[in-house]
Structure 1
């Protein structure tokens, strides 16, 4: 059976997206058909529309999603129809060298659905991050479904599928923030504020939020920042040092993805401190640092891919914290919109007016 549903499609580079009829097949072996309940509008979707990921148009956008499993294919044991799930783009294989060494969060062979979703004329769609969830239903690999407590609001829960998990994981998993640490977060959009929230969860004593927008800095305070720095009016490196006894922060998380802010992060950390890059740079960007400084400061320079998360471990735990009132996922939801509001949401994201617009279906 083929399911005829609505989906948000980017047909060509830079062109406005549109809601179109798409065809979704029944799940085959190892696949799951999911009724989408919510999907956040992420910068990655905009990167796809702008051709910044690859040129495999047309794209079915959307990937920060929560929904309910409608059907599963042969051999699926992870989930069953009726399960409430968050979709993820790290369906670990269990067989690659990272998985076999007990590091599945670095899996080199994550997998997606084999069958293609298509336009009404049969043109194959490329689903964003292997998910394509700006749609009434989507087809994914069963391993991309992580079962969580159904009491969680779909609008909030779905955000763990990408940006919020990336930020929380950058602090907890990659940065290893611990009790009493000092943490600086450069860039306070959705991912940066999630890093602030993650540092708070981990017990950081001082959390310094850096941005050029006072509105975003106020958002960061709501997620746990103890201090804020507007980089338009103050030198962030010197201010972070002043706030940490002249030393620099134990962990500095760069959530912008630009050479100049990465350099700020490098010099704003304490000796033997850690820099975490979670902001996504563009291919042409380069960084130049004195090698003696890299050597002399010690510590670690890390990149964080999806917050080094393991969805089966991290999603249920974070949903439990949300339901206990210890993690404010609702605070990331700036507005809820319909499928036809995605293009306008991209504009609001560009202007920095929202943390997340969330499509509700």
Structure 2
């Protein structure tokens, strides 16, 4: 049996997305069919539309999603029909070298659905991050479904599927922010603000938000930043040092993904401090640093993949913290929109008008 559903498709590089009817098969072995209830509009979806990830068009966009399991295939035991789940793009395999070394958050062979969703004419779709959730239903590997407390709204729960988890994890998992630490976050979009929220959760004493947009800095302050720096007006390295007794921050999180902001992060950290790159660069970008400075400043230079998260561990925990009032996920939702408003949401994202637009189905 197959299902005809509405979905948002990117047919070609740079072309506006379209709302189309797609065909979703019933789940096979190890797969789950999910009724999507909400899906955030992430910058990664725009990267797909612009051909910045690869050129496997047409893409079925959307991946920051929550919904309910409609059906499962043979052999699936981790979720059942009716479960409220967040979709993830790290369905750990349990067999790769990272998993076998006890580091499943680095899994190099994550699972996706084996069957393909298609356009009405049979053309196979490439689902964004193996999910494809700007759709009324989607087909994923069962391991991509993480069951969480159904008291959370789908609009906020789905955001943990990508951007918010990436930022919180960059602070807690990758940066290992601890009680009393000083943290600087460069770039205050959705991921950067989530890194601020994660630093606050971890007990950081000083959280410095850096951006060129005063609107974003104001939002960062509401989410948990103790200080803000407009780097269009002030040298951010000097400003961070001044706010940290002349030393630099213990942890600097770069959430932009550009060589110039990474260099700022490198020099804005204290000796033996940590730099975390969670912003996604383009393939053409190059970084040049004096090797003696890399050696002499010590510490750690890290990249954060998906916040180095383990969905089965982190998603339920963060939803519980949200329901306890300790993590304000609602603060990340700027607007809720319909499925046919995704192209307009991309435009608002491009202009910095929203933290997150969330599609409600």
TM range (shorter): over 0.9
Output aligned runs, 1:1-361, within 5 Å: 1-361=1-361
Q: TM-score, normalised on structure 1?
A: 1.00
CA–CA separation in structure 2 for the residues paired with 1:312 and 1:222? 29
**Unaligned runs of at least 5 residues, structure 2:** none
Superposition deviation, residue 111 in structure 1? 1.0
Q: Deviations over 1:183-217 (max 9, x none)?
A: 00000000000000000000000000000000000
Partner-residue secondary structure (3-state), 2:314: helix
CA–CA separation in structure 2 for the residues paired with 1:49 and 1:235? 34
Q: Deviations over 1:162-187 (max 9, x none)?
A: 00000000000000000000000000
Partner-residue secondary structure (3-state), 1:344: helix
CA–CA separation in structure 1 for the residues paired with 2:149 and 2:253? 30
Shift >3 Å, 4+ stretches: none
CA–CA separation in structure 1 for the residues paired with 2:97 and 2:340? 42
**Unaligned runs of at least 5 residues, structure 1:** none
Superposition deviation, residue 35 in structure 1? 0.1
CA–CA separation in structure 1 for the residues paired with 2:90 and 2:232? 37
Superposition deviation, residue 243 in structure 1? 0.3
Superposition deviation, residue 351 in structure 1? 0.1
Partner-residue secondary structure (3-state), 1:347: helix
Q: Deviations over 1:256-294 (max 9, x none)?
A: 000000000000000000000000000000000000000
Superposition deviation, residue 154 in structure 1? 0.5
CA–CA separation in structure 2 for the residues paired with 1:324 and 1:258? 36
Partner-residue secondary structure (3-state), 1:138: strand
CA–CA separation in structure 2 for the residues paired with 1:232 and 1:84? 43
Partner-residue secondary structure (3-state), 2:164: helix
Aligned length: 361
CA–CA separation in structure 2 for the residues paired with 1:330 and 1:265? 29
Superposition deviation, residue 320 in structure 1? 0.2
Q: TM-score, normalised on structure 2?
A: 1.00
CA–CA separation in structure 1 for the residues paired with 2:202 and 2:111? 31
CA–CA separation in structure 2 for the residues paired with 1:181 and 1:280? 25
Partner-residue secondary structure (3-state), 1:86: strand
User: Pairwise CA RMSD of aligned residues?
Assistant: 0.3
CA–CA separation in structure 1 for the residues paired with 2:53 and 2:120? 25
